[in-house]
Structure 1
Amino acid sequence: MKSKLLLSLLAVAMAGTAVAQVKPEDAIKFRQSGYGFMAWNMQRIKMNVEGGNYNKEEVVKAANAIQAIANAGMGALYLPGTDKGTGWEPTRAKANIWTDKEKLGKVAMEFNKEANEMAKVAASGDAAAVGVQLGKLGGTCKGCHDDFKAKK
């Protein structure tokens, strides 16, 4: 467990160095793209769970995509100067995302935990369990949106 944490911290530090060279508008685009890609994959899982034609392979692919992005260090894309500006559209990150680090860290850790669990549950092939886990994962998304994302 300690080695996973150490590797995660190292990856974030390395990503921070590379990301520091990214223009603010590109950082906004990258994070908007990441969140959009995760939303599409959550929709793929939802369609399988609710559609009555469950396809384990598709659910596993979607869950693994979400897990990969959740663990990719997206927080490094919240660079100075990205609090305002436009990526694909104007950023909707609220100002407190840069100041309420404790709450943001808690929300982010919960999201990562549930994204990792989603991949495990998807691999089981149990559609009902996937539906329950999708609700937990979606709840972490909503919690972050409620606190840190402005409405359109």
Structure 2
Amino acid sequence: MKSKILLALLATATLAAGAHAQVKVEDAIKWRQSAYATMGWSMGRIKANVDGTYNKDEVVKAANVIQAIANSGMGALYVPGSDKGKGWAETRVKPELFTDGPKVGKIAGDFNQAANELAKVAATGDAAAVKTAFGKLGGTCKACHDDYRKDNK
């Protein structure tokens, strides 16, 4: 039984690696840009609730979207050469993102952890706790933008 599970895991890993290798640079950039745009929209929804009339259901929906994207394995969309090129628009990724492995890994891990925490806190309906968790998540976004995004506006 264990050998069948191991074989299934190896087959899955092999298929995933093959799929990763076949991603066109332009597609990887488009998919990244789409995911980040969706997260940006979701961040805006949470901010509107934190700063205005708080609606728990809206915050939960937005936080769950962010959490899903954060845990989707987007790192696979940073294929070699995707620091140049165009998806929906010219990519803003700096080449250093591809060479600063440990630092990028820490930032990505912090982002995932903050996204998971925000979704957990959002489910409680505690607006003050959401505001704090939302600020921490925003800080992880800023950490990456500061070092690895061109034209940081």
Give the equivalent residue in structure 2 for 1:119.
119
What's the TM-score, normalizing by structure 2? 0.87
Could you tell me how far 1:115 is from its partner in structure 2?
Answer: 0.2
Counting aligned pairs with the same residue, the percent is 64
Q: Give the gaps of 5 or more residues in structure 1.
A: 1-10
For 1:88, the equivalent position in structure 2 comes to: 88
Contact 1:15 1:73 in 2 (8 A): no
Deviation at 1:23, TM superposition (A): 1.2
Q: 1:84 to 1:21 in 2, by over 3 A?
A: same
Q: Give per-residue Cα distances to partners, 1:30-55, cap 9 Å, x unaligned.
A: 0011111001101100000101x111
Shift of 1:19: 2.9
Write out the 4+ residue segments of structure 1 that deviate beyond 4 Å after TM superposition.
Answer: 11-16
Cα deviations by residue, 1:85-131 (Å, 9 ceiling, x for unpaired): 00011011001001000100000000000000000000000011101
Task: Read off the aligned partner of 1:49 and give its amino acid letter.
Answer: V
SS in 2 for 1:85: coil
**Measured at CA, do residues 124 and 148 of structure 1 come closer, stay the same or move farther in structure 2, by a change above 3 Å?**
same
The residue aligned with 2:51 is 50
Summarize deviations over 1:121-142 as a string: whole Å, max 9, x none: 0000001110111100000000
Q: Contact conserved, 1:122 with 1:130, CA < 8 A, in 2?
A: yes
Query: What is the CA RMSD across the aligned residues, in angstroms?
Result: 1.8
Letter in 2 for 1:94: K
Question: Within 1, Cα distance between the matches of 2:89 and 2:99?
Answer: 23
1:22 aligns with 23
List gaps (5 residues or longer) in structure 2: 1-11
Q: CA deviation at 1:81?
A: 2.0
1:14 to 1:139, Cα distance in 2 relative to 1, 3 A:
farther
Q: TM-score, normalised by structure 1?
A: 0.88
Map 1:1-152 to 2 at 5 A. Answer: 15-51=16-52, 53-151=53-151
